[in-house]
Structure 1
Amino acid sequence: MKGPSPQAVLFDLDGTLIDSAPDLGAAADKMRTDRGLPPLPLADYRPMAGAGARGMLGIAFGLTPESPEFAALREEFFMNYETRMLFDTHVFVGVTELIDALVAREMPWGIVTNKAARFTDPLVAATPQFATASAVVSGDTTPHAKPHPEPLLEAARRLGVDPTRCIYVGDDERDIVAGRAAGMMTLAATYGYMGANADFTCWKADGRVESPLEVLQWLNVA
């Protein structure tokens, strides 16, 4: 993709900047053991961690958002997750160095996630690497969540950068759909969760990164 060089980088959170699968999976698995069901291994939950409650309840109980009991179990999951979301979550290897490099280049960066602010804000506050983020947009910051472009457009406004001069990096198809709709360059983070049956080659992203530091290679693409 040719065009003006990027002026800012935006990232999805879960599966792109942080590995939150251990805490998300544990929150869902507690619901199983509380009901006398056997625990499931983290490996079962990990591929769907990027889908949040939908993914975790799908693995734990075979539920979909259309299931009658989904709403009640989702709130139970949220309460479990809220109590332990900082236990085992950590940034992916290379994220600290990537953010340091962006700061050194004086390139603004931000986070755009579908995670609700009740979870995003404590996570960001507890992660020293995120102190330099110039914009944090959660799933309930705007009236729409991804794959709608509005959260990305809001982040660009907060950064004071034209959306067409932003890169958006994410590990889910809805990240790429949202980024493309916002007019941004999009990068598929293939080191993230990706989903059990994800095929990133169908997402029409502008590129892929197999590790966080590979994002730096896309900062001069004019």
Structure 2
Amino acid sequence: MSQAVMRTARWRPPQPVGAVLFDLDGTLADTAPDLAAAVNRMRVRRGRDALPLELLRPVASHGARGLLRVGMDVGPEHPDFEGLKREFLDEYERALAVHTRLFDGASSLLDALERAGVAWGVVTNKVMRFAAPVLEGLGLAARAGVLVGGDTTPHPKPHPAPLLEACRRLQVPAHRAVYVGDDLRDVQAARAAGMPAIAARYGYLGDGEPIERWGADEIIDHLEELVTLLHIKPS
């Protein structure tokens, strides 16, 4: 029996579900191609070969810190890090909605949530400077009930503040919302907010602990699984 089936047998979602909140990078949208392209433009400018997307994809959820660590071999302790970070962010801002796409099943899931009258939104550590235009480029800016970025509250995830702010704006108690993410920080933030956490196995995941050890209430392999898992029915 799969890990997901075993968890489903033990966990029951809130009924009715008041809201479904999504992480952005690696959960709702595949943003890695545009993030990787920004790093590779920096490499090529310096006479270095571009790296394959497969090497950069796992760290895409970690933003500039992760991408510069793998793509430019520098971490926050390096004296050139801040300058490279500014360069990377400028590069990304110039072309952040070129190859970015919704993950398979996202469109049908969002349609199902809207037909059922379930609010949905995005809570991401991507700052609003980038998060808002990415959502706009995906055609979701007018549909999302809320967008909370990494600079919307004083603390980003894994602090619960961004999730609690999203619930406040949607006027939904945290325990009646569900958060879906592809990083351990997402599960930690949901736990701290008193919110059920669903981990996305199809996402970027990073190079830390295996997803089965994150302590999520459920693990999904495809976004459309949420329709059945959360008992989403047309209103």
Shared topology, TM-score over 0.5? yes
Counterpart residue number, 1:93: 104
- Report what 1:46 is aligned to: 57
1:30 aligns with 2:41: yes
Q: Which one is further off, 136-145 or 56-65?
A: 56-65
**What is the CA-CA distance between 1:215 and the residue it aligns to?**
1.4
Alignment of 1:135-154 (within 5 A): 135-154=146-165
C-alpha distance in 1 between matches for 2:80 and 2:191: 34
Conserved 8 A contact 2:68-2:75: yes
Tell me which amino acid in the other structure corresponds to 1:132: R
Task: Return 5+ residue gaps in structure 2 as ranges.
Answer: 1-10
Contact kept in structure 2, 1:96 and 1:129, CA below 8 Å: no
Tell me the equivalent position of 2:76.
65
Corresponding pairs, count? 221
In the alignment, structure 1 residue 104 sits paired with structure 2 residue 148: no
Separation of aligned partners in 2, 1:101 and 1:111: 16
- The correspondence for 1:211, drawn from 219, 222, 226, is 222
Query: Percent sequence identity over matched residues?
Result: 48
The aligned amino acid for 2:30 is D
Q: Is the 8 A contact 2:56 2:67 kept in 1?
A: yes
Secondary structure of 2:158's counterpart equals coil
C-alpha RMSD of the superposition? 1.4
Structure 1 residues 79 and 218: alpha-carbon distance in aligned structure 2, compared to 1, 3 A threshold: same
Q: Is the 8 A contact 1:99 1:129 kept in 2?
A: no
Whichever residue aligns with residue 31 of structure 1, its letter is M
CA distance 1:23–1:4, shift in 2 (3 Å): closer
Say yes or no: does 1:160 pair with 2:204. no
1:172 is matched with which residue: 180, 183, 193?
Answer: 183
The letter of the residue matching 2:125 is N
